[in-house]
Chains A and B, each alone.
Chain A
Amino acid sequence: MIPALSLILACQLAGEILSRAMQLPLPGPVLGMIFLLLLMSVSGKVQQIVRPTGQFVLQHLSLLFVPAGVGIVAHLGALREHGMGLAVALVVSTMLAIVVGAAVFVAVAKLTRSDVDD
């Protein structure tokens, strides 16, 4: 647990430093994910250390969005002001983006014969 957390935080820290130093459009944690992926690809030892903790943390990924989600309450006024238009825009756009993204993925997978094999 402690070695795993140290490794995970080290990756995040490296990501934060790179993101800020180079003024990249990617946030530190996303760069940290790439770093951890690289470490796992070159070292079986890192895989062993990180895997159980990583799976534990991701099991309740949803919980971690709750504090930011409650922030909607602070914006109820602004959201209500735009009411219906905003609701329609968010719902239709999100559903449309999911369907179009999935449809294009499947179509190109068929074209390039990279279909599912399991």
Chain B
Amino acid sequence: MLFFRNYRNKQRQQSSFKMQNNDLTEKVISPLLLENLAEIQKIFSETTDLIVKNFVIKQTKCPAALVYLSGLTDTKTVNNHVLRPLLFEANKEEQDFEVQVSLGLVKENSTWQEIENAILQGNSVLFIDQRHIAFIFDTQGWPQRGIEDTNIESSLRGEHLGFTETGSNNIAMIRRHIPNRELKMKEMTVGARGNLKLTILYLADVANPDVLKELVDRINKLEVDGILNAASLTEYIEDNPYSPFPQLFLTERPDFAAGEILQGRIVTVVDRSPNVLIGPATFEIFFKSMDDYGARWIVASFIRLMRYFGFFIAIFLPATYIAVIAFHFEIVPLKLLLSIGASRERVPFPPFIEAIIMEITLEMLREAGIRLPAKIGQTVGIVGGIVIGQAAVQAGIVSNIMVIVVALTAIASFIIPNYDMGAAIRLLRFPMMIAAAIFGFVGLAVGLMTLIAHVIALESLGTPYGSPFAPLRFPDWKDLFIRFPEWSIVKRPESTRAIQRKRANSNRPKGDEH
């Protein structure tokens, strides 16, 4: 590891991080239209989707040129609100005002870098002869899909709007939940080529400024050519990249994101990605779902408890099976032992191999099912059901009990509401199985201790990941295993390090007061 670090430093010294061929930072536009157009042609050489429309403005009779990238601009807006007024309308009373367009956002700029960026972002730029500035019109309009129901994190009672690939839409969806002036935003750009726009949303009087600064600093440090989605951004900025656990929460649900902002967390909207990042994350928020707040609290608590139970089942059940069969058969009640013995009798493999075969099969089936079209996906289910369920047992490759163990493990890992956490858990059971196969329960105990130690040591944006288990913060347990009624939760969790702890007054319903 050390070696690589040195190597990387050496590389950096040799060539500084630079993507563009000619530096535009200092360059300003010229008053001559023709020179500007020549510069445009130079910057955007071999760019067939660049459109340069030369015309004369009717009002002032000045030659002008509108430059934009087709496909990234909304043609209707360009035609109706930019070209039509400039070409055909003349207002005699206002001689001075030369650029009359019916658009909300018009910027003026004279540096080539800004202009280049504006064009690449889908704005149209108007150059006018004898002018030192160019006008940038907000005419963005790229291919996008409509707002649909959420895919991965579907819910019964939560809202049925999911984030889309357009950052501004996503911000709007969050803002709909929090129409408050304290909802502040910080805009940042990442990636020398990708120019990814990130918007950090937070409640200025609630979110902790240290945490915010940490997040901003980390993003500022990034030097990459491009980042394609929110998930890969997390890999760059999370605290411990070697951990199996996700340390920032990715969600496609606006209501969940808004809820976390209200708790004092910080949401990063990543343009072009249908997910937003929520940080600082704790271990427990990966076990929450929007439906917990849509169901009655007793029901929600029961489901919560099942998820935590499922967490342990998914990690430890196959490992326990291996340890019991290979080392500690004494702990099994006799009748169960006899039926396990009878079902394992024909299996030619040791329990570890048997378990690995089945777990790998299961993982392959799951992976195969994800990317297949729905119509073929059914086939995978049927094939899997037959292979795992019946044929493997009849052929004597695995035992019945093993099939039950695998099925239970699979179900348990799928009830974790967050995909990243579910994947982490599914992966963690393999090291546990190896430990159990070599050392029995001793290995399992060591595995569990390692896991606990790791979770305790983890941090998310400098905030303890294990909270409220470790450090132990009992007031936060109101929304942990048992979800207490909403009216009883008056404080924000300590794990968000919110500077304003109180979120509500006690709203306990008193019943009929008349």
B is bound to A: no
